[in-house]
Structure 1
Amino acid sequence: MKALLLSAYAADSHRYWACGLMAHLDAIDWTAIELAPRHFQWRVRGNPLSFMSEHDETLSHSFDLIVATSLVDLATLIGLYPHLGRAWRVVYFHENQFAYPLGPQQTRRIEPLMVNLYSALAADRVLFNSQWNQDSFFEGVDGFLKKMPERVTPVRLETLKAHSEILPVPLWPLEEVPSAGQGAPARIVWNHRWEYDKNPEDFFAALETLSDKGLEFELVVMGQVFRKTPEVFEQARARLARHITCWGHQTRARYLEALGRGGIVVSSAWHEFQGLAVMEAVQHGCVPLVPERLCFPEYYAPEYRYDGSREALITRLAQWLTAPDTRPNPPDLGVWTWPQMAERYRRSLDGSPGAGAD
């Protein structure tokens, strides 16, 4: 089977998934095309032009399967290359723009919403990385269509729901499994993108409160860093300097090495459709502390969750720092690794009758 893998905004998590897909479904003859993760508004609406400009020859070939991320304007691309419409088409939603939180001084633009919707409608199968992602997408589509000047109810929407499936981004298996509860209990890890939607304000405010109370802890702040980052990062770096042992973007090897030392990996995010950064930290021996919202209840038992407030985060961290024996062991995420999930992916990418059904 010849397959074309299209990624219109190749952020770290998207590349992690794409590389895993090609490595663990290696019986498929893959051709991958990606665009750099920058200039989001231009990228999301202009990616067919970029694909055409940079990869016209490749797109002119025939494929049996097309797998595209949800920011690929698949409907337009098929219009420009009609023969691609004969392939089995799968769209993967790492996130959806209907549930993406707005940053300071941002307004909701319809172009990303329409690209998500049209790409889903142009697909034979739509995959979501969490139930939260799927539910918020269809709820968002319903609310969006109700705002249109004319009454619009595409008949394909119900078919689209029937052809949708929850299929998380699998974790690459580890050569050596960390022992339960390894690492220093007073080590706190942040390993998310340095952007507003990850809500770094609550995280750093909680740590400053703990520091002011005289609690001792080691702070590790990593993750993907962009040209523009929230000011709170530099402010926190100054205020929490005595606790910091690692700061900033790391090479992949050093990043994994830092996770392997264990500790508490914290999320305070306002936006998370799977939380791959937390999952990867847990896989390497960290104990998760995540809010009671978004996708997190799908993946973590109540003992790893707090109610989402800053006060609850402070309370739980203080408890785990002062009484380490109350901290649970890391959960087992083996069920979400490629060896366990590869067959489900094979079925979903198979366009034969009955394929993909559980």
Structure 2
Amino acid sequence: MSGRHASRMESQAAPPPARVLLLEPFYGGSHKQLLDLLSAHLDSCVAFTAPAKKWHWRARTSALYFSQKVPPNPGYRVLFCSSVLNLCELAALRPDLARLKKVLYFHENQLVYPVRKEQDRDFQYGYNQILSCLVADAVVFNSAFNMDSFLSSLSPFLNKIPDLRPPQDLLALIRPKCQVLHFPLHLADVDRLLPTNKLPAAAHGDDVITPPTRPDSPETALHIVWPHRWEHDKDPQLFLSTMLKLKDEGLDFRLSVLGETFTDVPEFSRCRPLLEPHVLHWGGLACRERYLEVLRQADLVLSTARHEFFGVAMLEAVHCGCYPLCPKALVYPEIFPAEYLYATPQQLLKRLRNFCTQPRHVRAHTLKVDTSRFSWDVLKGAYQSLLSP
């Protein structure tokens, strides 16, 4: 075969050039789920990532890393990244990428992200996100709560600058770029692992979306699942103290404590021996199939978060049939009806106490949360439009 012919054949077999560049400095959790969805289901995407560890260093240095890691490609038309990346720095280091349509996605925002003490808040992280918004062409938030809290905090945040504050109204520059596009759940993966009798109605082709409910099994104890990161912003102290109070009252319940662990959390080590008779699972499950199996077996999914901008774990658990209990704050009123919200720790304890004594009421309940509106099937078109040049 001649060299010219071989080259022509290779050219015909080559994939189309990538048009969308996906960058994720913190490739884990919901950040990983979103990037994997976009890579797998949208055409002409290429992704560059960094492992999900040392978050603070990713926020500080990933722009330099990606500026040297991503080779030039004249086919790129769109750049998509999470707000962990300092997009402003990347655009300065790579003028070829600065010319693309730049989409900045906020899983969280650092202007209102909870810290143990306000004096511990590092101004630079929020400042970097503001700069990234200024150079982005589209700024996308996973919830209205995320967007509204960011925009309403922008001016007070900048007022912390002791002098030489920006003379121009930055809110007026950023707000027109902003939109809400909910995080897309890949519910087809969840449905694939659910038994037919547990599938939501939509999976059978029905018009009404009704998440599965638990069978009425009064003889078994209430199974509570807490599927969150073991970090202070999820308020493990409230969760563990509430479980210990249920135990001290002699109430029967079973407990699955899941979620990722990035640092040592002494509260969990201290409380596990005290809760041991109630524990079914303790620690993150590496296998997603096994994780979903635990959600299917659980009766109630609990959040005690002091920070939540969307809540993938809560919605996946609800889709598997768990009754949700969430704080009456943050993003939760945007997603869950009022009957699933509690306002105080005392209200939370009272409701759990009632559910432990009468678990049949939880299992017989028909959930009033439409998880389908957050599904990839529903949101795919909006993401395709967002990532069009």
Paired position in structure 2 for 1:333: 371
Determine which of 298, 322, 326 is the counterpart of 1:290: 326
Question: In structure 2, do the counterparts of structure 1 residues 231 and 286 end up closer, same or farther at CA, with 3 Å as the change threshold?
Answer: same
In 2, distance between residues paired with 1:154 and 1:32?
35
Distance of 1:235 and 1:61 partners within structure 2: 55
Residues 1:200 and 2:214 are matched in the alignment: no
1:171 is matched with which residue: 182, 185, 189? 185
- Give the fraction of aligned pairs with identical amino acids, expressed as a percent: 34
Is the 8 Å Cα contact of residues 145 and 153 (structure 1) preserved in structure 2?
no
Q: Which stretch shows the higher mean deviation, 191-200 or 152-161?
A: 152-161
Query: What runs of 5+ residues in structure 1 fail to find an aligned partner?
Result: 352-358
- Match of 1:248, as an amino acid? G
Tell me the secondary structure at the aligned position of residue 246 of structure 1: strand
Aligned-residue CA RMSD (Å): 1.9
User: In the TM superposition, what is the alpha-carbon distance from 1:290 to its structure 2 partner?
Assistant: 0.2
Aligned to 2:57: 42
The residue type paired with residue 341 of structure 1 is L
CA distance in 2, matches of 1:229, 1:166: 34
AA in 2 matched with 1:164: C
Q: What does residue 220 of structure 1 align with?
A: 256
1:242-292, Cα deviation, whole Å (9 max, x unpaired): 000111111222111111213110001000000111111111111110000
- TM-score normalised by the chain length of structure 1: 0.91
CA distance in 1, matches of 2:300, 2:354: 12
Counterpart secondary structure, 1:298: helix
Q: Structure 2 stretches of 5 or more lacking a match?
A: 1-17, 201-210
Q: CA deviation at 1:39?
A: 2.0
Equivalences, count: 345
Aligned to 2:24: 7
Quick check: 1:62–1:84 contact (8 Å CA) kept in 2?
no
Please give the secondary structure, in 1, of the residue aligned with 2:281. Answer: strand
Shift, 1:115, TM fit: 1.5
Are 1:19 and 2:36 matched, yes or no? yes
- In structure 2, relative to structure 1, the CA distance for the partners of 1:349 and 1:56 (3 Å cut) is closer
Tell me if structure 1 keeps the 8 A contact 2:142–2:182: yes
Which residue matches 2:11? none
* Distance in 2 between residues matched to 1:56 and 1:19, nearest whole Å: 18
SS at match of 2:111: helix
What residue identity is the alignment partner of 1:321?
C
Question: What is the 5 A alignment of 1:242-321?
Answer: 242-250=277-285, 251-307=287-343, 309-321=344-356
* Matches for 1:25-36 after TM superposition, within 5 Å: 26=42, 28-36=43-51
Deviation of the 1:162 alpha carbon:
1.6
Partner of 1:355: none
Q: Does residue 238 in structure 1 map to residue 251 in structure 2?
A: no
Superimposed CA distance per residue, residues 74-126 of structure 1 (whole angstroms, 9 cap, x where no aligned partner): 11111111011221110000000111111369711122112211111111111
CA contact (8 A) 1:120 1:160 kept: yes
- More off after superposition, 64-73 vs 341-350: 341-350
Query: Aligned pair in 2 of structure 1 residues 62, 14: CA closer, same or farther (>3 Å)?
Result: same
1:62–1:83 Cα contact (<8 Å) kept: no
Q: Secondary structure at the match of 2:114?
A: coil
Deviations 1:43-98 (A, max 9, x none): 21111122234x142x5655100001001111111111101122111000000011
Going from structure 1 to structure 2, the CA distance change for 1:144 and 1:279 (only over 3 Å counts) comes to same
Q: Which residue of 2 aligns with 1:180?
A: 212
Q: Give, in whole Å, the separation in 2 of the partners of 1:337 and 1:262.
A: 22
Which of 1 and 2 has greater Rg?
Answer: 2
Aligned counterpart, 1:324: 359
Alpha-carbon spacing, 1:105–1:39, altered in 2? closer, same or farther (3 Å): farther
Within the candidate set 129, 142, 145, 2:158 is matched to: 145
| Partner SS for 2:252 | coil
- Mapping for residues 96-135 of structure 1, pairs under 5 Å: 96-103=109-116, 107-135=120-148
Q: How far apart, in 1, do the equivalents of 2:279 and 2:168 lie?
A: 53
Q: Distance in 2 between matches of 1:219 and 1:61?
A: 53
The aligned counterpart of 1:79 is 92
Match of 1:356 in 2: none
8 Å Cα contact 2:22/2:81 also seen in 1? yes
- For residues 67 and 91 of structure 2, the distance between their equivalents in structure 1, rounded to whole angstroms, comes to 11
Instruction: Give 1:229's aligned residue.
Output: 264
What's the secondary structure of 2:224's corresponding residue?
A: strand
